Chains A and B, each alone.
Chain A
Amino acid sequence: MSLLDWRRTLSISRKEVRHVRRDPFTLALALGLPVLLVTFFGFAIDFEVRDIGLSVHDQDDSRASRQLAEVFSSSGFFRLQKAEDPGRLLRELDSERASAVLVIEPGFGKDAGAGRGASAQLILDGADNTRASAMLGYLPGITAAAQARLLGSAPPQPARLRTRFLYNPELNSRWFVIPGLTVVVVGLLAILLTALTVAREWENGSMELLLSTPVRPLEIILGKLLPYVVLCFLGAGVVYLTARLGFGVPFRGSHLLAVAAGAMFLLACLSWGLLISVATRQQQLAMQLSLISGLLPSLLLSGFVFPIESMPPFFQYFTSILPQKWFMIVARGEFLKGAGVLDLAKPLLALFVMDAVLITAALKRFKRDLEP
């Protein structure tokens, strides 16, 4: 007797396909949602902050101090306004009228003129990380520009930096966001789609019926996974076309490699959902667990926005249990870098191991429930 009968597996799949087809809402969501979300957030997500409110309190009012303020406004990132109540400068930040305050004390112009190193104070609002880190990123450039402005005509610079940006020469942040967004959205959808399948059958009592047939546990597990792999692939395919044609994201790698890695990734996420379903046997709990284990970790710990390299060492390893982390590397590598199999050996291996572990775990757990 063979371990696995494909005919029986496929009939389980056929049954699952009927379930999906009966629920047009779910089907429409599975196919339409990835495109919708990727398109919407592809337009929405932009890490550059412009129009930052900067309150200036210029006590010096000299040519140099005005020049300094001008450098801030001409950088394009800041919107200058006069400090409302100089006595209570911090109120500007408390009331969120401004995100930064520039204080120039009397004597600034004199110091700058004498070459003594004039000092001005810049107070940043540290309550909002996205804005604070953006501002800190702009500062070196602004300081350099102010330096040049105040020293009169640009001083003869013996050396300059010529920067070339690899893979994304124009620093288009969409190229970074869209492959990552695709991974997050498709992965989440995969977890959610399978999370209820087995639990529903237990709750309805149809699982007993299924078990009384000659179908085996492995066939049930694989048969339930297959249709969703196809469904998610269709969803991902539409997203791929949107990214290429709609947003002009380049694809420099091999399609074959991307498809193979994508299949492994989808399988990992679907088995994750299935494992939850098998382990809880109850729809409500399965939903709660899948949303809690899926949503925030894949948004925050996958490297989608917060770089994994910036995490403390322990968490750099800890995040390795997320399939999203690995497929994120593959997706960005394939889209932007044109990475080959050897470059991606580690993520590919990790995804493969995850597939094996998650499917085995789901199967083991399922078999345990079957024993009387």
Chain B
Amino acid sequence: MNRTLLAFLRKELMQTLRDPRMRVILFIMPVVQMTVFGLALSTEVRDIRLRVLREPGDSAMARLEERFYASGWFVPAAGGGETDSDATLYAPPGGFRRAMERGEGDVQLIVDAVNAAKARAIEAYANAILAGFLRSGLGPGEPPPAIDLDVRVLYNPAMESAVFMVPGVMSMILCLVTIVLTSMSFAREREGGTFETIVSAPLHDWEIILGKTLPYILLGLVDAALVITAGVLLFSVPLRGPLWILALSAFVFIITTVSVGTLISTIADSQQQAMLGGFLFLFPAILMSGIMFPVENMPPAIAWVAHLDPLMYFVRLLRNVLLKGGDPWVVGSNLAVLAAMACGAAALAFKRFRQTLN
């Protein structure tokens, strides 16, 4: 490697790391954010607040109510008001048992459906509990269950939300940090007037581009190592695949995001525009990554955007390598797409940079 480039790299690294606040953003925030999101987030619907309206002497209904709480999904609502509960169960008038004997044992369930997905889950749980109740307790002759589905959740048997969330959160944080670092690099030099100094220095175009990207790739890799170590140590996320594949995936992904960030910074006229540009990339990239909602069923008119999202491929890669041990075909295909994106974004950024020189 030549000396000028080395000096340039050192300048960029020093400029980035000299501010102690910057060091916090780079090395502490990612771990803090991962810890918070890993501990807090869960898609599971639990602790549904249930209110049961029944007559005091209705013992059948009381037993059904007990079953709801015993299921682990429902808890008694604290207040008596409608706003304090997620679901309300109304016993049939005249007692549940009597109503069943009449053949009118309909139990009414009123569900707060502001969150449609949650409401659907509540209904499914309630149906299952009622069915189990009818089989075991009151049904004539106690017909045994005809079938029994023995459900096992592979790769994460205890359904720990951290194991679900941490690979996703890792990739979001890596994407965020690298974009945030690079999207201002040229815009900042231009606004500060130092861009001309760099351009007039005895450096080739490619040396400037490398000098502006390599340090951030390096910092991104340090961050990747940091979050992956934290994920494995703090949250006992399994690392079932080979480490070198993980490192290679992170490397390719970081090249992609650093190139995208550099591209944004060559397009933006000011730091404000660079920031909004970074947001414009990050927001869809995070939403379309498949971490927050499923992307498989999107309407085709929209699905193509998800296929342009490097984060989506990286999340798939990371989950497959960490939790499933890295299937050659899945790893290979996703890695190939990411590598193609990295080349494309780097080429675009370089081309755009040369345009700004003229």
Q: Interface of A with B (CB < 8 Å)?
A: 23, 25-26, 29, 33, 37, 40-41, 43-51, 68, 90-91, 93-96, 112, 115-134, 136-144, 146-147, 150-151, 155, 157-169, 171-173, 175-176, 185, 188, 192, 195-196, 200, 203, 280, 283-285, 287-292, 295-296, 299-301, 305-307, 309-312, 315, 318-319, 332, 336-337, 343
Q: Interface of B with A (CB < 8 Å)?
A: 19, 21-22, 25, 29, 33, 36-37, 39-47, 83, 96, 99-101, 103, 105-121, 123-128, 130-131, 134, 138-139, 143-157, 159, 161, 163-165, 167-168, 172-173, 176-177, 180-181, 184, 188, 191-192, 269-276, 278-280, 282-284, 286-288, 290-294, 296-299, 301-302, 305, 316, 319-320, 323-325, 327, 329-330
Contact A280-B107, Cβ < 8 Å, known A43-B299, A144-B127, A167-B112: no
Nearest opposing residue in chain A for B157, CB measure: A126
Residues from chain B with Cβ under 8 Å of A192 in the complex: 275-276, 279
Cβ A296 vs Cβ B116 within 8 A? no
Give Cα A305 to B117, complex, Å: 10
The A-B contact count (CB < 8 A) is 358
Cβ A196 vs Cβ B272 within 8 A? yes
Nearest opposing residue in chain A for B140, CB measure: A158
Residues from chain B with Cβ under 8 Å of A131 in the complex: 294, 296
Give Cα A169 to B116, complex, Å: 9
Cβ B276 vs Cβ A139 within 8 A? no
Residues from chain A with Cβ under 8 Å of B46 in the complex: 310
Give Cα A159 to B89, complex, Å: 13
Nearest opposing residue in chain A for B163, CB measure: A126
| Contact among B83, B154, B282 for A291, CB-based, below 8 A | B282
Residues from chain B with Cβ under 8 Å of A123 in the complex: 152-154
Residues from chain A with Cβ under 8 Å of B188 in the complex: 283-284
Nearest chain A CB to B105's CB is how many angstroms away? Answer: 3
Cβ B297 vs Cβ A51 within 8 A? yes
Residues from chain B with Cβ under 8 Å of A116 in the complex: 144
Nearest opposing residue in chain B for A335, CB measure: B114
Residues from chain A with Cβ under 8 Å of B280 in the complex: 29, 33
Cβ B329 vs Cβ A95 within 8 A? yes
> What are 24 sample pairs from A and B whose C-beta atoms fall under 8 A apart?
A33-B280, A40-B284, A68-B147, A94-B324, A115-B144, A121-B149, A122-B151, A127-B324, A129-B165, A144-B127, A146-B149, A157-B134, A161-B109, A165-B113, A165-B119, A192-B276, A196-B272, A292-B29, A295-B286, A300-B37, A307-B45, A310-B45, A311-B40, A312-B39
